[in-house]
Chains A and B, each alone.
Chain A
């Protein structure tokens, strides 16, 4: 009888053991960091500020400043005694000249720097390189390799191959800001700000006591903040949601702003724009 009871009880015990084991397994898997599945060996970081401080960039900056000063004094001499219309034309002309000088000086340097970053990235098998300023911890820093290459004599040859597909996406915010609904919200906020400033100037006069003045200014800040929450925050939330949704659908780890991407990466701007329309 006991034997029979034991025999019939055994499967139930085994099932309970199995359930307990499964629970332990689930718990263990939950505790194990999910991130183990991800390999981030192909993400590089570069300190663009350090590259900008290299002698060649500093010399270029000094050269541009000198040209700017020369143009400024030439401009002052050129507009002397001229009509307002002619002064306007001369001003446009000088601005174009300064912009041209800037391109002439910096374009070759920037081209060389980009080629150096691409070459180092390709040699190290990186799929993306981002600016160091958006990384708070870790990452494969290639700044020294890039600066060494830039400081070496001779031409820097960019790699022939394009970077491998990356799990890091990037988005061009300027294209999102240009969307009609984003622009409308931004314009609405600016209009409100201007109106409020006018109102503020009319509320505060010479006789307004200091404490009253502080009170009005504090009220102004609150109104501005409320309007920002009302008009701009929904747009920010929508954009964040759209970017995250696109990132997930494309199996990306995360998305950075385009200005922080230096090399490679996956451009998701068109998808985000589409999702927001």
Chain B
């Protein structure tokens, strides 16, 4: 390479290097600029939220709550079992009394709800009466609701009754039909078995006759010999034994055939029974399918009729309701009063319900203690464990929400710094999106455990 050539090349390299450096410098400047002024974001990223939550300083607390829940769940699975008859009786008594207490509690709550609803309704009616905006609008509203409700109920009850009657009649028909099919099949099996049996008996008789015919000459010969009076006792005994052998052999062969026939007959009957059972099952399935389809089509017809009637009723009701509500809505003071009455009733109901719930829990605990003492074993109230689980689960939920708020804030800061527009926290698989998990986890781990939460505007 000559001096001028190498200089030219050097100049070329220098220019290229300058351009690359400028480009790199621009890249650096852009990165720095992005970190400082948070430019318009374009990127997409994801975080493994479980890993990030695990890095949070409050995670051990969260884990402890989860462990408690797991342990309580396992405890409810492995409840001690009653072993002796006395313990089993006590357990049955406990279950019965717990069920009664539960039913009573539910009934009690229902009454309370109805009582407060009625009280609220009465207070609202009084308010409407005194409001002067719409004379007797409260009464009208109450009466209208009652009337509409009862009309709808009547309509539904009538439909349900008709459908129920139809179902009962169909089921009756099915039962009668299936009974007759069963009888026919049973009669068919019995007739076939009888025919087979008769054939086998006839064969057995023929066989017996055949055997007797085969042994006829020998038997006659031996009988003739035995009729000879001058026969020595030894010979007599021998001939008699031979004659007996013939009888025994014939009997054995006949019995052998009978045993074989009995087994054959039994197998034949079994086959017939199983064929009949299969035919019966097929018939029953077909019948039930047919009935279901009949019921469905009747129900569909009734639904159409019901919808039509219900629409007419609700249109009428809605029209009247709109008129009355218009009158009420035009007075803000009245609305405020209504809200106050509703709130007051709600507070009273909640206080009453809480007291009832406490008393119900005490009753359950007392029952468990009582029957545990009777049975000399510690019974377990699964409902009490469930309540305990629910309480811990609520604590866990609150703590998790607090952690998540802080995590969300960190994700937001990291994402903005990196020019990312959207961050997913639940992905099935990653492609070319950026994984922010480690970076966010590091930021989250550095948080003090008592950092006040402030939810960012993510999303």
B445 within 8 A of A: no
Interface size class of B (residues with CB under 8 A): 35 or more
A264 within 8 A of B: no
Which residues of A (4-22) have their CB < 8 Å from a CB of B?
A: 7, 10-11, 14-15, 17-18, 20-22
Beyond A28-B23, A40-B42, 13 extra complex contacts between A and B, CB < 8 Å: A15-B13, A28-B28, A35-B43, A35-B418, A38-B43, A77-B164, A89-B171, A136-B407, A138-B415, A206-B80, A220-B78, A240-B428, A254-B433
Q: Mark B150-177, 1 if CB is under 8 A from A, else 0.
A: 0000001000100010010001000000
Which of B17, B299, B420 counts the most chain A CB atoms within 10 A?
Answer: B17
Residues of B within 8 Å of A7, CB to CB, are 3, 7
Residue pair A25, B21 in contact (C-beta under 8 Å): yes
Residue pair A32, B31 in contact (C-beta under 8 Å): yes
Least CB separation from B414: chain A residue: A137
A18 to B17, CA, bound (A): 5
Q: With A28-B24, A36-B43, A206-B377 given, is the CB distance from A251 to B420 under 8 Å?
A: no
Q: Mark A194-231, 1 if CB is under 8 A from B, else 0.
A: 00010011011110100001101110110000000000
Residues of B within 8 Å of A96, CB to CB, are 292, 296
B46 within 8 A of A: yes
Smallest distance from the beta carbon of A39 to chain B beta carbons, Å? Answer: 6
Stretch of B67-75, B212-220, B268-276, B335-343 on the interface side: B67-75
Smallest distance from the beta carbon of B17 to chain A beta carbons, Å? Answer: 4
Residue pair A138, B423 in contact (C-beta under 8 Å): yes
Q: With A45-B459, A138-B458, A251-B431 given, is the CB distance from A35 to B420 under 8 Å?
A: yes
Which of B16, B79, B411, B427 counts the most chain A CB atoms within 10 A?
Answer: B427
Smallest distance from the beta carbon of A18 to chain B beta carbons, Å? Answer: 4
Residue pair A11, B10 in contact (C-beta under 8 Å): yes
Smallest distance from the beta carbon of A165 to chain B beta carbons, Å? Answer: 14
Least CB separation from B458: chain A residue: A137
Q: Which among A89, A137, A248 is the interface contact of B422 at CB below 8 angstroms? A: A137
List the 9 closest A-B pairs by CB distance, nearest first.
A35-B43, A243-B429, A247-B431, A28-B27, A28-B24, A25-B24, A137-B458, A206-B377, A136-B425
Interface size class of A (residues with CB under 8 A): 35 or more
Residue pair B74, A200 in contact (C-beta under 8 Å): yes
Q: Mark A131-160, 1 if CB is under 8 A from B, else 0.
A: 011111111010000000000000000000
Residues of B within 8 Å of A1, CB to CB, are none
Residue pair B44, A40 in contact (C-beta under 8 Å): yes
Q: Which among B20, B49, B432 is the interface contact of A136 at CB below 8 angstroms? A: B49
B58 within 8 A of A: no
A10 to B13, CA, bound (A): 11
Would you list 24 pairs from A and B whose C-beta atoms are within 8 A, ordered by A residue? Answer: A10-B6, A11-B13, A21-B20, A28-B24, A32-B27, A32-B31, A34-B43, A35-B43, A41-B42, A134-B427, A137-B412, A137-B422, A170-B428, A197-B78, A218-B71, A220-B74, A242-B429, A247-B430, A248-B431, A253-B433, A254-B46, A255-B431, A256-B428, A260-B426
Q: Interface residues, chain A, CB within 8 Å of chain B?
A: 7, 10-11, 14-15, 17-18, 20-22, 24-25, 27-29, 31-36, 38-41, 43, 45, 70, 74, 77-78, 82, 86, 89-90, 92-93, 96-97, 130, 132-139, 141, 167, 169-171, 173, 197, 200-201, 203-206, 208, 213-214, 216-218, 220-221, 240, 242-244, 246-248, 250-257, 260
B131 within 8 A of A: no
Residue pair A17, B17 in contact (C-beta under 8 Å): yes
Residues of A within 8 Å of B459, CB to CB, are 45, 132, 135-139, 141
Q: Which among A28, A90, A138, A260 is the interface contact of B167 at CB below 8 angstroms? A: A90
Smallest distance from the beta carbon of B86 to chain A beta carbons, Å? Answer: 12
Residues of B within 8 Å of A18, CB to CB, are 13-14, 16-17
A24 to B28, CA, bound (A): 9
Which of B27, B30, B43, B428 counts the most chain A CB atoms within 10 A?
Answer: B428
Smallest distance from the beta carbon of A245 to chain B beta carbons, Å? Answer: 8
Residues of B within 8 Å of A137, CB to CB, are 408, 411-412, 415, 420, 422-423, 456, 458-459
Which residues of B (261-309) have their CB < 8 Å from a CB of A?
A: 288, 292, 295-296, 299
Residue pair B419, A171 in contact (C-beta under 8 Å): no
Q: Which among A10, A135, A213, A244 is the interface contact of B429 at CB below 8 angstroms? A: A244
Least CB separation from B412: chain A residue: A137
Smallest distance from the beta carbon of B408 to chain A beta carbons, Å? Answer: 6
Least CB separation from B82: chain A residue: A206
Residues of A within 8 Å of B136, CB to CB, are none
Residues of A within 8 Å of B427, CB to CB, are 134, 254-256
Q: Which among A31, A77, A171 is the interface contact of B27 at CB below 8 angstroms? A: A31
B389 within 8 A of A: no
A253 to B9, CA, bound (A): 43
Smallest distance from the beta carbon of B219 to chain A beta carbons, Å? Answer: 63
A204 to B380, CA, bound (A): 13
Which of B9, B31, B421, B422 counts the most chain A CB atoms within 10 A?
Answer: B422
Q: Which among B41, B295, B376 is the interface contact of A138 at CB below 8 angstroms? A: B41
Smallest distance from the beta carbon of A130 to chain B beta carbons, Å? Answer: 8
Residue pair A135, B24 in contact (C-beta under 8 Å): no
Which of A28, A82, A252 counts the most chain B CB atoms within 10 A?
Answer: A28
Q: With A17-B14, A173-B428 given, is the CB distance from A86 to B411 under 8 Å?
A: no
Least CB separation from A25: chain B residue: B24
Smallest distance from the beta carbon of B308 to chain A beta carbons, Å? Answer: 15
